[in-house]
């Protein structure tokens, strides 16, 4: 379930890149319900259950899940390694990928994805340089 910007204008904070802005929509602007009845912060993050639809309503989970409350508290300033990173504009930081690659540590960037961001940066800069020289 994704919440609409019209009904929930605070979602537009996800587009902002300031240090006090949220990092990701997982548990902030979306939640996922799987066929097994479990809620997850994102459909890709089924190793991180945040509630059980057989025991709790969606509203209860959304408002009271400690895991969702924690996710919503994370801001860009908490990603200390990323704030000064040269590739941050070419990167799509993802809690799930880090969580899965780093034994549950969602805040430490996984090396593989940093490598991808630096490759993106290199490709884009090369493209721009080539196009500026024509």
Residues that bind ligand SF4 (CB under 6 A): 81-82, 85, 87-88, 91, 93, 109, 113-114, 117
Report in angstroms how near the CB of residue 63 gets to ligand SF4 at its nearest: 30
What tokens were used for 10?
A: 């605070």
- Closer of 31 and 74 to ligand SF4 (Cβ): 74
Report in angstroms how near the CB of residue 97 gets to ligand SF4 at its nearest: 9
- Closer of 33 and 114 to ligand SF4 (Cβ): 114
- Closer of 38 and 88 to ligand SF4 (Cβ): 88
- Closer of 3 and 113 to ligand SF4 (Cβ): 113
* SS3 per-residue string spanning the chain: CECCCCCCHHHHHHHCCCCCCECCCECCCECEECCCCEEECCCCCCCCCCEECCCCCHHHHHHHCHHHHHHHHCEHHHCHHHHCCCCHHHCCCCHHHHHHHCCCCCCCCCHHHHHHHHHHHHHHHHHHHHHHCC
Report in angstroms how near the CB of residue 134 gets to ligand SF4 at its nearest: 29
Report in angstroms how near the CB of residue 127 gets to ligand SF4 at its nearest: 19
């Amino acid at each position: 379930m994704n919440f609409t910007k019209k009904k929930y204008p605070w979602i537009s904070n996800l587009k902002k890149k300031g240090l006090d802005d949220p990092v990701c929509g997982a548990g902030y602007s979306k939640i996922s319900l799987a066929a097994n009845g479990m809620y997850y912060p994102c459909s890709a993050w089924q190793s991180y259950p945040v509630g059980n639809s057989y025991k709790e309503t969606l509203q209860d989970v959304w408002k009271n899940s400690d895991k969702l409350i924690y996710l919503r508290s994370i801001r860009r300033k908490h990603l200390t390694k990323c704030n000064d990173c040269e590739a941050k504009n070419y990167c799509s930081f993802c809690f799930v990928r880090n969580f899965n690659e780093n034994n549950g540590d969602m805040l430490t960037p996984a090396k593989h994805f940093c490598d991808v961001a630096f490759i993106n940066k290199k490709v884009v800069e090369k493209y721009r340089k080539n196009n500026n020289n024509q």
